[in-house]
């Protein structure tokens, strides 16, 4: 079975039922023609913009894009990159790529132009489809990516260097192409990064993606009647793989473009959502808004909401205690995973184990776990080692990177780079990260990128960036800066200099101090973490 088999089954079984809903609380369309292919409910003043498609429309749109790719000569196994904000077009485009036998390559919408170019080249992408938010970035590189044969644009006022997705697909048949696919065929490349900040291309087969759907549905018992609220970006495995559980049973999904607490609660109420996956900051903001009186729960219909689960970062137990006090009827789960293990689910807490909040849980459905020492041998229960996972969702490889693949995949086991321990009941706790990646609000920050940027300042002699615990975001980036002799530098100077970085990459805390290095010249980040946050950031979160 492949993902497109599931879509076809849903289209046959539930053709006129709603598959996807898009809600944009702040957007008002300029004209009806912008969305003329879709069911449109014109918003009243103060109401969000909303559009939806059925399962039959979903499949037809996927078929149209698949046939467009095939008409352009796209061959089985070619790579097609997607650079879109969450929208009702995103998933039909993704499935259209798969139906053409091609490999879908979702790109992070935060990538700068040079990062987009790097990922297109790294993945050998021959086609690109993008949205209006990225016109400037694509225009910068469109003359430097000769391997990209077609550039399609989703939206009105198509730029001259691209072709209109809507116009081109309007010429195509909505009949499914006859491309033979099996679970052994390659399906997607997702980008991840290590501490260097250079993205690695993670190659997955259809088997991995289908197993993600089976795992999610097994963990959270989705039925056809469940409604999933999707808020995180679809380029990320976390959001999409959680949706896969609902997709497997033909359940409706709601794409909410915005994270304000009132928008989330209103969407749950209006769309009768039953399952919501949140990041820690969003859950905290919702509780703060309720406790402050900004949100009055009596004004909403929330009795159908049965499950709230969290992933992408360590979860403070105190947060879940607060949540269950406000929503005592909710099931709760924590999910752990990596893009290399096709997103969340290789380890999960389980809705029946809220007494173990603080742990990431046990091996997920179809998965095995182990905790190994530096020689790859199992450690005793209670001892710290590297968390390893094994299962049908493990990546095939890092595309075009044999060295990195060999370092992470050993005898079928995926070495995650996360240090963990297992308690007497078999529950796994993260202790520290082997890598230095900072996870802030569910997003990865790569210290080397920030350090390299700061080193361009003539007053800075040395710099190290580490993560400090933060009650809302999980972690924040802190820059320890060693100033050159005979130079002066203030926090205001640094903040002004960092305006050249994307907002999410700017350090939240500036510390002026010496940067310790070991004899081989490496920054002693464990020493800095011990000095400024008392050791392991993750351990502090677990023990809160």
Of all helices (H) and strands (E), which one includes residue 192?
strand 186-193
User: What domains can be seen in the chain, in order of their start residue?
Assistant: 3-258 (3.40.50.12780), 306-433 (2.30.38.10), 438-543 (3.30.300.30)
pLDDT digits (tens, 9 = 90+) for 79-120: 999 999 999 999 999 999 999 999 999 999 888 899 999 999
Q: Are 269 and 301 in contact (CB under 8 A)?
A: yes
Residue with token string 């935060």: 110
Cα–Cα nearest to 109, from 141, 88, 128, 133: 133
Confidence of residue 295 (pLDDT cuts 50, 70, 90): very high
pLDDT digits (tens, 9 = 90+) for 482-537: 998 888 999 999 999 999 998 889 999 999 999 887 544 467 887 898 898 764 43
Binning the chain into helix, strand and coil, the percentages to the nearest 5 are 35, 30, 40
Instruction: In whole angstroms, give the CA distance from residue 12 to residue 22.
Output: 22
Which residues partner with 357 through β-bridges?
Answer: 359
For 112, phi then psi, to 5°, come to -75, 170
Confidence of residue 544 (pLDDT cuts 50, 70, 90): very low
Report, as an integer, the average pLDDT of 354-369.
Answer: 93
How much is the pLDDT for 537?
Answer: 39
Instruction: In whole angstroms, give the CA distance from residue 50 to residue 27.
Output: 9
pLDDT digits (tens, 9 = 90+) for 152-206: 999 999 999 999 999 999 999 999 999 999 999 999 999 985 434 578 999 999 9
Give the side-chain half-sphere CA count within 13 A for 48: 20
Q: Are 72 and 80 in contact (CB under 8 A)?
A: no
Q: Where are the beta strands (DSSP E) in 238-330?
A: 252-256, 275-278, 307-311
How much is the pLDDT for 47?
Answer: 60
CA 384 to chain centre: 28
Query: Taking the model in full, what pTM does it have?
Result: 0.82
Which residues partner with 395 through β-bridges?
Answer: none
How much is the pLDDT for 472?
Answer: 87
pLDDT digits (tens, 9 = 90+) for 459-490: 998 899 999 999 888 899 999 999 988 889 99
Using DSSP, how many helices (H) and how many strands (E) does the chain show?
16, 28
Helix, strand, or coil (residue 335) = strand
pLDDT digits (tens, 9 = 90+) for 114-148: 999 999 999 999 999 999 999 999 999 999 999 99
| Whether the predicted pLDDT of 395 surpasses 80 | yes
For 375, phi then psi, to 5°, come to -100, 5
Helix, strand, or coil (residue 217) = helix
pLDDT digits (tens, 9 = 90+) for 428-460: 988 766 667 788 887 778 787 788 789 889 899
Report, as an integer, the average pLDDT of 300-317.
Answer: 86
pLDDT digits (tens, 9 = 90+) for 213-261: 999 999 999 999 999 999 989 998 888 899 999 999 999 999 999 999 9
- Within 8 A by CB and 6+ apart from 219, the residues are 245, 333, 335, 345, 348, 350, 351, 364, 365
pLDDT digits (tens, 9 = 90+) for 37-51: 443 444 555 566 899
Instruction: In whole angstroms, give the CA distance from residue 357 to residue 418.
Output: 18
Report, as an integer, the average pLDDT of 7-21.
Answer: 98
Q: What is the mean pLDDT of the chain?
A: 89
How much is the pLDDT for 37?
Answer: 40
For 183, the token pair is 């679970």
Cα–Cα nearest to 62, from 19, 109, 125: 19
Our CA dihedral for 164, 168, 174, 176, rounded to 10 degrees, sits at: -90
Instruction: In whole angstroms, give the CA distance from residue 517 to residue 101.
Output: 50
Of all helices (H) and strands (E), which one includes residue 324?
helix 317-326
Report, as an integer, the average pLDDT of 373-399.
Answer: 93
User: What percent of the chain stands above pLDDT 90?
Assistant: 68
How much is the pLDDT for 522?
Answer: 62
Q: Are 88 and 58 in contact (CB under 8 A)?
A: no
For 328, the token pair is 């005592």
Our CA dihedral for 316, 320, 326, 330, rounded to 10 degrees, sits at: 150
């Amino acid at each position: 079975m492949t993902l497109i088999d599931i879509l076809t089954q849903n289209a046959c079984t539930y053709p006129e039922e709603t598959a996807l809903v898009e809600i944009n609380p702040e957007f008002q369309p300029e004209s009806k023609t912008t969305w003329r292919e879709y069911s449109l409910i014109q918003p009243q003043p103060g109401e969000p913009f909303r559009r939806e498609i059925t399962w039959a429309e979903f499949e037809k749109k996927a078929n149209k894009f698949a046939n467009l790719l095939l008409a352009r000569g796209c061959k089985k196994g070619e790579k097609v990159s997607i650079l879109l904000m969450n929208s009702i077009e995103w998933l039909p485009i993704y499935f259209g790529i798969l139906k053409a036998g091609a490999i879908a390559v979702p790109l992070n919408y935060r990538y700068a132009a040079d990062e987009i170019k790097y990922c297109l080249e790294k993945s050998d992408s021959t086609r690109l489809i993008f949205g209006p938010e990225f016109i400037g970035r694509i225009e910068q590189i469109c003359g430097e990516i000769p391997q990209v044969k077609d550039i399609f644009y989703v939206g009105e006022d198509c730029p001259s260097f691209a072709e209109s997705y809507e116009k081109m697909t309007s010429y195509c048949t909505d009949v499914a192409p006859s491309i033979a696919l099996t679970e052994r065929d390659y399906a997607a490349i997702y980008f991840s990064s290590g501490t260097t900040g250079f993205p690695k291309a993670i190659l997955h087969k259809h088997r991995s993606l289908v197993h993600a759907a089976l795992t999610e549905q097994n963990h959270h018992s989705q039925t056809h009647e469940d409604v999933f609220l999707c808020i995180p970006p679809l380029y990320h495995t976390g959001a999409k793989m959680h949706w896969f559980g609902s997709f497997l049973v033909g359940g409706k999904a709601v794409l909410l473009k915005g994270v304000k607490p009132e928008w989330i609660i209103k969407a749950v109420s209006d769309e009768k959502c039953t399952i919501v996956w949140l990041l820690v900051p969003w859950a905290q903001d919702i509780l703060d808004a309720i406790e402050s009186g900004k949100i009055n729960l009596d004004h909403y219909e929330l009795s159908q909401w049965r499950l709230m689960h969290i992933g992408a970062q360590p979860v403070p137990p105190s947060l879940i205690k607060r949540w269950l006090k406000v929503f005592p009827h909710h099931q709760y789960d924590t999910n752990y995973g990596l893009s290399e293990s096709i997103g969340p689910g290789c380890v999960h807490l389980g809705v029946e184990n809220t007494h173990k909040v603080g742990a990431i849980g046990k091996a997920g459905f179809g998965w095995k776990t182990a905790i190994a020492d530096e020689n790859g041998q199992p450690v005793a229960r209670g001892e710290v080692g590297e968390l390893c996972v094994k299962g049908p969702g493990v990546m095939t490889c890092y595309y075009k990177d044999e060295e990195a693949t060999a370092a992470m995949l050993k005898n079928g086991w995926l070495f995650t780079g996360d240090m963990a321990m297992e308690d007497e009941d078999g529950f796994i706790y993260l202790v520290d990260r082997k890598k230095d990646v900072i996870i802030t609000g569910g997003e990865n920050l790569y210290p080397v990128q920030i350090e390299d940027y700061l080193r361009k300042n003539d007053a800075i002699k040395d710099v190290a960036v580490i993560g400090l615990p933060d009650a809302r975001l999980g972690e924040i980036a802190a820059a320890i800066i060693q100033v050159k002799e005979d130079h002066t530098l203030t926090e205001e100077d640094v903040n002004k200099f960092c305006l050249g970085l994307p907002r999410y990459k700017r350090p939240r805390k500036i510390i002026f101090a010496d940067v310790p290095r070991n004899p081989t010249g490496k920054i002693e980040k464990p020493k800095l973490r011990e000095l400024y946050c008392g050791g392991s950031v993750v351990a502090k979160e677990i023990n809160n």
